[in-house]
Amino acid sequence: MKYAIVESGGKQYKTVEGATIEVDRLPVEAGAIVRLERVLLLADGENVVVGTPLVKDMTVWARALEHVKGPKLTVFKYRPKKRIRVKTGHRQTYTRLLIEQIGGSALIEKKVEAAVDESAEQAVEVTVEPKAKTPAASRAKPKAEGETVSKAKPKAEAKAAPKAQPASAAKKVSKPSEKKAK
């Protein structure tokens, strides 16, 4: 039995030709060809090749079938006697891959070229890299020419007149009297 251990998204998966695996969501469309290059181990019968850390010139070809959601997880944080109760949920998204071929032979490249000619699909190489944090300035939308953006809130056009104090309140307010020096 021929199988390979590949790494995708920091996790390791056992891949067998014809089987499906679910990996963390990849930025590819459904039906696209995915090339997994991080092969850690290749086993073909009794021949086992262990990479240091990767097996050279080895790729696993897969087809992205669909994007699916995993089961909903409930996270409940509770601290007794402190009135702390936090309930949150999470639902991970996955990409389901069909493993078509293990090994970087020309056979898969011919299949890819034929698929491109027939249905105008493109082969996509996926390399998983950690996301870099972007500063807030780079996330801002660019302004069009002559357009100004003001962060200040618009002022009210007319302010309400101050309320008049009742007569009884006016009597209670008194000015400090000056003490006469003798």
Residue 151 lies in a domain: no
- Give 23's contacts (C-beta < 8 A, 6+ positions apart): 8, 9, 11, 13, 94, 95, 97
User: What are the pLDDT digits (tens) for 65-76?
Assistant: 999 999 999 999
- Coil, helix or strand at residue 127: coil
In a domain, 155, yes or no: no
Strands 20-24 and 123-125: unpaired
Count of the separate structural domains present in the chain: 1
Domain around 95? 2-122
Rounded CA gap, 63 and 55, in Å? 21
Identify whether 165 is part of a domain: no
> What's the count of helices (H) and strands (E) in the chain, helices before strands?
3, 11
How are beta strands 11-16 and 20-24 bridged, if at all?
unpaired
Q: Is the pLDDT score of 175 beyond 80?
A: no
Tens digits of per-residue pLDDT, 93-114? Answer: 999 999 999 986 644 454 545 5
Q: How many CB atoms lie within 10 A of CB 58?
A: 20
Q: What is the pTM of this model?
A: 0.56
The answer to whether residue 167 sits within a structural domain is: no
Q: Is residue 80 part of a domain?
A: yes
Please check whether residue 171 lies inside any domain of the structure.
Answer: no
- Placement of tokens 């009884």 in the chain: 168
